[in-house]
Chains A and B, each alone.
Chain A
């Protein structure tokens, strides 16, 4: 449908990913009695965030992203985020990556659904951008990349009409269709029901530009108001808030898209009994050939722009666990229902020989631009040792 959906999807999902990683990196902090190492860890956390944000806002990558195009399949987008999550020395196991992606997607689905007006999706995007800017405020080179992208967003999107934004929203909702993964933080805050569906309140401020329901006005042929009636709408609405700012800086007014995680609120997901709906959803996204040639080409062009930092030693790298313990993480991987698996593009997994070869070529093309600096790999080793010692 809308050919301008992908940048918004990517930036918002990316923003959520950064919120979650930031929270997990802080949560895996070393206690104060190892003060010296804690300082070092803080610097490393910032480095991980900087590396991911730099990759996310890579100029060539964004150029591809901003081209008018249809949305990628869930599989393709998940592959992009897999790559992004590994753009630093940080490492995530399959189970943690799955959980990260579940959280990201459910969070953005929630934000899209609850946006008062379709145009507010842009304000949600700006909330994410504002937070990203804050993550890299001490690094001018990355900050300028982020600012450039922000300018591009303003240029392209502020001119769109409400109807065009609704089309973007409808495109996003098709992408998120039938996803009902339960997220602990949403359940606790009572914004999600136990069946995985979000709570849609029938109260609160109406969107900017809408009147509270209730008034009927009738006019004569010459335009005079001749009758006024009130009806009972049933909800409990009040007047809209002021409009949020669409400038580079400003009060966005809308809270959707701001960081809802903090160190003290861990996030868990439940793989609940929504298999029926999920399988219907995967059916929709399956064209006759799941790894259609066109999609591979798109992916290749997009990924070509992503410079991935590959550490010289595969074992080094700072591993992040999205679960409370390693055992939980392993358990989650084993017990994940088949129909909820993301089927990330995996060279071993593809059966088709030709596709296999093509994929290997694409994966190989991801430039090993920039070797990991000696200091970082030793830091990686130290970190790993420290984690083991906990």
Chain B
């Protein structure tokens, strides 16, 4: 179904972090941007579609008034909003937001870090752009920070703090089908496997809570109201977001799942785990019977590598890219 393309070399290797790959497709300029986190640095590569031109940039974590810091970055992801795209970095010290090409930092939010380290680590993790002007970021305490983003400029403000989770946030996702009929806009996941469904607005509304089974949910996606969750046990589960009904359960991987992605136009699902496998699935939704089916499509084994990031490069799922721990390249596949 897919064949391997030429890999993109990155300046330093990928760290073992959940969802450690973000992709931004810039159609008007025939470019795709990729980001991969290495400890306290974000490697950004811009690749031209003809594979002839690559340019690199590195962003560093920030701390207080110090521009560069050794504090570790947990995640980097692009947030696509109707008016603008922003690149968001979450670290042990706070949240940095940049213009989408990483050229200018437009906002910095410091986390409340204690004077002396506490038993429970402090960090921000989990990033989602929510219709139509919010960027939501998770925190190790379980809080979800909601930032209000104006259509331009740096007047970003913290609009709300959602306190529902008790364990560290692992990942968050917004409804990506583009359909305005969906009730839920955002799903947040944590280390206990708990999933919370939200409706965005001046005040975010909690729609539903789907309990975990004390298994961390490391990656989550929301598509046409269906929550797709990847767990530390290697399982993928599909839930109806607002009701919590379990549609499907897949014994997908032999190790901890690190990344999921969905291609919204076709319903293709990508999963990558510590077991070296990258798998492609297909979701079929039948609104009449309110059923969701999942079938397996494709496997790829990246020998001797624990995967940490996997993303489709386009909305159809025609191409995807993956990263692995200790690997200094972004491996790409396109449909045969």
Chain A interface bracket (under 10, 10 to 19, 20 to 34, 35 or more) = 35 or more
Give residues of chain A (209-243) contacting chain B, Cβ–Cβ below 8 Å: 209-221, 223, 226-227, 229, 231-235, 237
Contact A163 B234 (CB under 8 A): no
| 12 other A-B residue contacts (CB within 8 Å) besides A68-B118, A237-B254 | A69-B117, A161-B192, A163-B216, A169-B16, A178-B13, A200-B304, A202-B275, A211-B251, A221-B240, A284-B12, A284-B40, A287-B70
A residues near B12, Cβ cutoff 8 Å: 178, 280, 283-284
Alpha-carbon distance between A214 and B247 when the two chains are bound, in angstroms: 17
Nearest CB on A from B178, distance (A): 25
Question: Residue A384 at the B interface, CB < 8 A?
Answer: no
Binds B, one of A10-18, A191-199, A339-347: A191-199
How many residue pairs bridge A and B at CB < 8 Å? Answer: 179
Question: Residue B5 at the A interface, CB < 8 A?
Answer: no
B residues near A232, Cβ cutoff 8 Å: 296, 299
Binding site for B on A (CB under 8 A): 1-4, 67-70, 113, 116-118, 161-164, 166-167, 169-170, 173-174, 177-178, 180, 193, 197-200, 202, 206-207, 209-221, 223, 226-227, 229, 231-235, 237, 277, 280, 283-285, 287-288
Given contacts A218-B247, A280-B13, contact A233 B299 (CB under 8 A): yes
Q: From A221, which residue of chain B is reached at the shortest CB distance? A: B245
Contact A217 B248 (CB under 8 A): yes
A residues near B120, Cβ cutoff 8 Å: 3
A residues near B118, Cβ cutoff 8 Å: 3, 68
Contact B214 A162 (CB under 8 A): yes
Question: Residue B295 at the A interface, CB < 8 A?
Answer: yes
Binding site for A on B (CB under 8 A): 11-13, 15-17, 38-41, 68-70, 72, 74, 92, 116-121, 123, 167-168, 170, 190-192, 214-216, 218, 232-235, 240, 243, 245-256, 275-277, 290-296, 299, 301, 303-306, 325-326, 328
Q: From B68, which residue of chain A is reached at the shortest CB distance? A: A288
Contact B192 A210 (CB under 8 A): no
Contact B255 A210 (CB under 8 A): yes
Given contacts A68-B118, A216-B296, A280-B11, contact A161 B216 (CB under 8 A): yes
Alpha-carbon distance between A261 and B150 when the two chains are bound, in angstroms: 62
Nearest CB on B from A313, distance (A): 42
Contact B250 A164 (CB under 8 A): no
Given contacts A68-B119, A116-B255, contact A170 B17 (CB under 8 A): yes
Nearest CB on B from A210, distance (A): 5
Name the contact of A216 in the complex, choosing from B70, B121, B295 (C-beta under 8 A): B295
